[in-house]
Structure 1
Amino acid sequence: MPAWVEPMLAKPDGGRLRSGPEWVYEYKMDGYRAAMRVAPDGTTILTSRNGIDFTDEFLDLVGVLDEALDGRAAVLDGEIVVYNQEGLVDFGLMQDRRGRYRKHANGLRAGERFEDLPVRYLVFDLLQLGGRGLLDEPYEQRRALLTQIPMPDPYLVSIVPAVTFEQLSADRLTPAQLLDRVAREGQEGLIAKHRTAPYVPGRRTDAWLKHALTHTQEVIICGWRPGQRGFDNTLGGLLLGGHDPATGDLVYLGDVGTGFSHRERDDLKAQLQQLERRTHPFATTPPREDVARARWVEPMLVGEVEYRQFTRGDGRLRHTSWRGLRHDRTPDEVVAPRAQPRDPDPPQRVTVRVGDRRMRLSNLDKPLYPTGFTKAQVISYYTRVAPVLLPHLAGRPVTFIRYPDGVDGEQFFEKNAARGAPPWLRTVPLTGSGSRGGGDTINYPLIDDLPALVWAANLAALELHVPQWTVTPDGTRGLPDRLVFDLDPGEGTTIADCAAVALRLRDILVADGLTPFATTSGSKGMQLYAGIHTDSPAAPSAYAKTLAERLARETPGHVTAKMTKSLRQGRILIDWSQNNPAKTTITPYSLRGRRTPTVATPLTWTEIENGDTLTFTADEVLERVDTLGDLFADLSAARAPLP
């Protein structure tokens, strides 16, 4: 087992977010800091920031990287988090989970205790890989190695996104504008990391600088605690309250113990001693452990605190700092933060009829792309393109990539039919091929009619990914009926280089008796498909790998068949692995979660030969369909035996 490494810590940036090409920006996450140590045999230990082993508390994360590490030891640094129903990291829910764990540590199995509070490990650094220690490597090198490790189960482990200064500049954004976006999303803040910095265990250095977002809140002083450890005989902290607007009840909001001057502590103590009462003033008794040594007062004084987060689960202000009394406010004006919705406007909901189904659509005016392309436009696109899209989804279990807060917000994969899916939605239960063996049963949605497609679009499921096989009438996994090559341009190449490789592959496929069809990926690359007959699930991957390696041998300076990132610079990767029955590929006519609403667009071979523009948006694709029809319409009819 690799040795534990005391975590490097971030230093406050003093309110000035650093800017310049030497900086990279990561979202600041609020969970439990944890090192994940993995031995070559897959044994996994999770260690807290202060060296405590809490592997047993998070058993769901044990072994999640076994397949990805392939027998290599590793030490990763990250944060264990719980997400709320709004898709945000919620420390309050993590506290709920921890309380339940401590109460029932010797009771039910972890999976039974915490099905409603699943955890996810968000990785942001790699400290060891195999026998190679990485502490002295620059941040950008450690990051590059980390991103080469495939994350096999995005529900359990993923890499914290990092944005370079150059990427921001290319998007015509500044670090300050990124911070504004983070604030609008309800995130905790940003950490700026120096690209050349080593990992310094147990130290706070100027190479990692945190910029936490704070908020202010008026509060009612409901009690106080005497000071300790240097604050004897004075005020140590205040116990805070506010009114629940739904009931008018006075509710407990937490405490504050920092931000006071010595004079303020003495003055407040003198005032509060005149207001003391024997019992707490709240409608509901606060948790005993939260109010130990409390001295209660009449709720008459109003103050203001600065805070970093409000945990909606327990209704607490977190990371508070005192700002001062507010003599211009009366207690009846103080409303708890929970009364202030994230969006002051009620969500727009409309009921529509789609085919023979009645459906409720919400937030139709919400922009999902920086260009202003809204959810209503997403639904409109999928509705209009449905006649040519649905045949390529029919019978195939669909994996969504959802963007509930738009493409600038957090994205997540979804295989299981979403909670609250309509009862008429067709689904198929299949055993997944997870990293820990056979995998769990996943209830995949089948998007085979217009109501199902509109339902998915209303979930902001912008991207629709499918395997190269369909389910059989009895609901089992069928044999592959399509062959796919994913052409991915490495640094220094473009989609035009992909087109040149596509033409070479086309000629080989035709010579082998197959009929190839080409499409853009909707991102940077292209895909080639061919309809096939085969009686072996493994045969398409083997055949595709043979062709990819052949082209790589013929032109090693232009093509690679290996995923290794260092080999891809200046070359086109022919990714043959998407023929693996466990893999999925973006379906033709699907939107992509990019800066603009681009689409995976079927192409004519003439367009590819002429070097025409090969990037298309939703509106352009609809015009193409009106003119050209479905260029993939004959994919199934042209099936031929796999060589």
Structure 2
Amino acid sequence: MRAAHDSVPAWIDPMLAKPDGGRLREGPQWTYEYKLDGYRVAARIAPDGTTVLTSRNGLDLTVEFVELTEVLGAAVRGRAAVLDGEVVVYNEAGQIDFGLLQQRRGRFQKHRTARREEPFIDVPVRFLAFDLLLLDGELLLDQPYEQRRRLLTALPMPDPFRVTVVPSFTAAELAADRLTPQRLLERVANEGHEGLVAKRLDSPYLPGKRPGFWCKHPLVQTREVVVCGWRPGQSGFTGTVGGLLLGAHDPDTGALVYIGDVGTGFTRQDRDQLRDRLLPLERAGHPFAASPPREDVVRARWVDPVLVGEVRFRQFTRGEEGRLRHTAWRGLRADRDPAEVIAPQPGRPGPPPAPATGSRVTVKAGARTLALSNLDKVLYPDGTAKSEVIAYYSRIAPVLLPHLRGRPVTFVRWPNGVRGQRFFQKNADAGAPDWLPTVPLRGGGSRSGGDEIVRYPLIHELAALVWAANLAALELHVPQWTVTGDGAPNLPDRLVFDLDPGPGTTVVDCCRVAERLYDVLTGDDLTPVATTSGAKGLQVYAGIAATSAQAPSVYAKAVAVAFERETPRLVTATMAKARREGRVFIDWSQNNPAKTTITPYSLRGRDEPTAATPVTWDEVRGCRKPAQLMFTAEEVLDRVAAVGDLFAPVEENRAPLLG
């Protein structure tokens, strides 16, 4: 066995792709491959078929991906070879999914820790080969890429489910298909790939180098980071990791510097696995060459800087101390060495922004096909594009749609972004798809007054939600009542108190009022649920069985007036803005059948993509800073993955109003 292992070809330090600065290389000398989202792996195969899989930084991954070894040996049929490629995992939609690969790695590590002897084949992996570095014992490094590629594609692939060759598209092949490199990039984006890698047909293979022969054009900005510390989670994340503190090495001095943190993008399983990895690495102080800002590292627990991860980010700030902004976790990178992780340097060009993906694309949303436009259009000042808004609403749909069902929806649209003009849209105009259900209501939704008939959209399925997001309908507002099958309004089934902090107050003061509301509502056998407005305030809902359309307003006003009478310096039930200074306004009038409120899980049109977010009563009682109850879209998705739909009790528990 030792002799067989000795006959395996030597490891070759992989050649790396250089960022293209946002300009996709074009011309007859270039060919294009998909940019892959997995582990870079060299497959080193001996003449007898013995195969060793080695990561980019020299780690032996053979045991972890043992199911690939036999099929690779069969591919070269008794010849020594070294193949360069990527190990990936596909999701149910047929897309390469780095998150699933990370989850598989976590389960593999538990498998090994438990000393289980059976092979670990929990999640199918696939080796995607894109270069051939040695064949029949002959090094091919000086051969042009075009020749190496020809030899690679000539190798038989006996099991394409486990091993295949990455597709490559030359300029001539694209032209024959009436495509351009930019059109190929659009297709790659629609299929969910990371981007393209452009390679010169005449390029040699330079081990360990990052020449201009290979240029990567990512559709998403990502960065490798060194995990230097962590914050314990709070509220729904108590007992696990709440966020990570990140570092990288200064490109000039090599010193480890603080570059920001990340608190989103984790599944609950990710958080628990990270906690288990980080606890044995804890140390007394931070590992940075200079102390990070005190306000950034409150509650921090420091670790030895030995783990490398990857984050998605939107911006790298350009001040004296550069920081990654708007980060989301992608996973640990066992195939990277901490010494390789270099920080962007303030004043130097950062990673390129995500390129435009074309003016119009066609996508599947559930069972329907939709045409989407201007996906790269920036809607928020922090850089959030329409494509990300659509992605959020698509991912939040399973918990959002039940709370929209049967409720006529009013859109608040920002076609030119939240710094541009907004407008309210109630009518489903002629541009609405013919499959979209609507309901005609007189007087703009009121039960009385007005002769205008407004045809409101009903958002019952994913496709309708995606259609609305494509209109830049960032906010979705609904009444506290639903409609019947024939379009008649039902009696209200929700009670709502909209707590609006006046000048000199914040959501923290709203929380103190909400605690009092909780006592009143539970005393009346109602089940209160709190949700942030996604802006400044807080809302308290309860499911009800009303006896009249006016009953919720009567009840809510009586409670609000009683609160004002008890604590006139803290609460007002009066609409006049002059009365709100230093007080929380309890807006009981939101129960009027003609009025609407922001629906839970809707985005808001603010500088950042915050969302109306259901919260626990422990979070309400523990709130001491406004930031504790402000959640971005990514954070809302993480919360739902961890704790489910906190707004569900409003639909599940309806009780009659007393009084």
TM-score, structure 2 normalization = 0.45
